[in-house]
Structure 1
Amino acid sequence: MADIKQEKGRFYIGNSDQPDAEVTFTESDDIVIEHTMVIEDKQGAGIGKQLIDRVVDYAREQEKQIVPVCTFAHEILSTDKKYDGVWEGPL
């Protein structure tokens, strides 16, 4: 598993200024996943899914629901029953 770091509104891997991968979100009553990015040479290694899983863990810790505006996040959340109950879907 990658070393996932947290800042307000995002989880990321690598350098804060130029991350190798990141997921950004806004948080109020829900957690709205806005964007997921993985640099080209790291794609296909499951890093994006690890970031989504970290947001899921965070949402469960905060007792909040996820709204996946990001199409990648929506795809991940809608394809596995382990995410049932933590996201507001389908879109």
Structure 2
Amino acid sequence: MSIDITHNENAQRFETTIDGHTGYISYQDQGDTLVYDHTIVPSELGGKGVGSALVKHALDYARSHDKKVVPQCSFVATYIKKRPEYAELVK
């Protein structure tokens, strides 16, 4: 399944809506650092890789914008722990 993710800057989150259900990862912008604080995936979208796709998108965004990340959300922290290619982003 291809997941289309958009950056909702006003709400400070990356989000996707599938079949009327919206999943997102929210952040706090602290200048050169993004604090990823919540990853929300409705149960209707669970098990489809939505959470991982959102986190990957958010981390790739941070990398391409030369920002560090604080993985306040445990889902984000676990994702990074399993993928050492993102470890250098952690502040």
Tell me which residue corresponds to 1:7.
8
Distance in 1 of aligned mates of 2:68 and 2:23: 23
Distance in 1 of aligned mates of 2:56 and 2:43: 20
- Kept in 1, the 8 Å contact 2:69–2:90? The answer is yes
Q: Which ranges of 4 or more aligned residues in structure 1 deviate by more than 6 Å?
A: none
Tell me which residue corresponds to 2:42.
39
Structure 1's unaligned 5+ residue stretches are none
Report the alpha carbon displacement of residue 84 of structure 1 after superposing the two structures with TM: 2.1
Tell me which residue corresponds to 1:77.
80
Tell me which residue corresponds to 2:27.
25
TM-score by length of 2: 0.86
Structure 2's unaligned 5+ residue stretches are none
Q: Secondary structure at the match of 1:6?
A: strand
Report the alpha carbon displacement of residue 19 of structure 1 after superposing the two structures with TM: 4.8
Q: How many residue pairs get matched?
A: 86
Provide the aligned C-alpha RMSD in A.
Answer: 1.6
Q: Aligned pair 1:87/2:90, yes or no? A: yes
Distance in 2 of aligned mates of 1:75 and 1:19: 24
Distance in 2 of aligned mates of 1:43 and 1:71: 16
Report the alpha carbon displacement of residue 62 of structure 1 after superposing the two structures with TM: 1.1
Q: Secondary structure at the match of 1:85?
A: helix
Alignment identity in percent? 27
TM-score by length of 1: 0.86
